[in-house]
Structure 1
Amino acid sequence: MDPINQNPGLPLNKTFGLNGKGALDGNDLDELRRTADAFEAIFVSQFLKAARSANLADDIFGSQAGDTYQSMLDDQYAKDLASSTKLGIAEVLVMQLGGPAARDEDR
């Protein structure tokens, strides 16, 4: 394939011959969902850590142990938030990466 003369108007699945090959089965789709949920938890965790680091003053009783505890607590908050609240990040990732199988299942 000559990438210079490739028509940018063609969809990638036709350009690379991906016509239905590599479609996800049920197990792969479940794994994709679990991975997307984990990504959403990591995203929320990073958001909480960034919000926590934006404080204007140091903690009175600040210590390395306290910082470690706060980091672990933020990670747990992120997991709880991602599992109980639908932010939509995981759903969009599954629809985008899961292809037609994921979109058909949501209908």
Structure 2
Amino acid sequence: MNTNIDPRLLLAPSLPQTADPAVKRKDPEKLRAACQDFEALFVHAMFKEMRKTIPQDGLLPRGMAEDSFQEMMDWELARQTSRSGSLGIAEALYRQLGGEEPPK
């Protein structure tokens, strides 16, 4: 049984439908940015779940400011990680969605 799902089928209903052929052209930079944003979202979720495994020592109570700072720092780290290409999720997704092959 083949359970592979084409990601383009998941995106098609959510994309705006226009009659202008210039709008329907592929924009590789926008596609790459969207793939990197998806990777950043995935990495942020991973960071969030990993932080849940760290026990709280209880010596100093955590406040809302520290939680907000931690959340913003995790988002920035996730963005930087996705932009660096070190995980390769964005690049794989980019190629899967029809982006050109990277130069060798």
TM-score category by the smaller chain?
A: 0.5 to 0.7
The residue number in structure 2 matching 1:16 is: none
Q: Which runs of 4+ in 1 moved over 6 A?
A: none
What does residue 49 of structure 2 align with?
50
Tell me, in whole angstroms, the C-alpha distance in 2 between the residues paired with 1:46 and 1:58: 23
When the two structures are aligned, how many residues end up with a matched partner? 82
For each residue in 1:12-61, what CA deviation from the matched residue of structure 2 results, as whole angstroms up to 9, or x when unmatched? 9xxxxxxxxx9x85x52221111001111111111111111221225523
- The structure number with the bigger radius of gyration is 1
In the TM superposition, residue 106 of structure 1 has moved relative to its aligned partner by 2.7
Q: Structure 2 regions of 5+ residues with no counterpart? A: 1-5, 7-20
Cα distance in 2 between the residues matched to 1:93 and 1:61? 41
The correspondence of residues 1-107 of structure 1 with structure 2, limited to 5 A, is 25=25, 28-58=27-57, 60-98=60-98, 102-103=99-100, 105-106=101-102
Query: Cα gap change, 1:38/1:93 in structure 2, threshold over 3 Å: closer, same or farther?
Result: same
Q: Structure 1 vs Structure 2: percent identity of aligned residues?
A: 35
RMSD: 2.7
Could you tell me the TM-score, scaled by structure 1's length?
0.63
Deviation of the 1:85 alpha carbon: 4.1
Counterpart code for 1:68: S
1:8 corresponds in structure 2 to: none
Give the TM-score normalised by the residue count of structure 2.
Answer: 0.65
Indicate conservation of the 8 Å contact 2:32/2:94, yes or no: yes
Query: Could you list the runs of 5+ residues in structure 1 that have no partner in the other structure?
Result: 1-11, 13-21
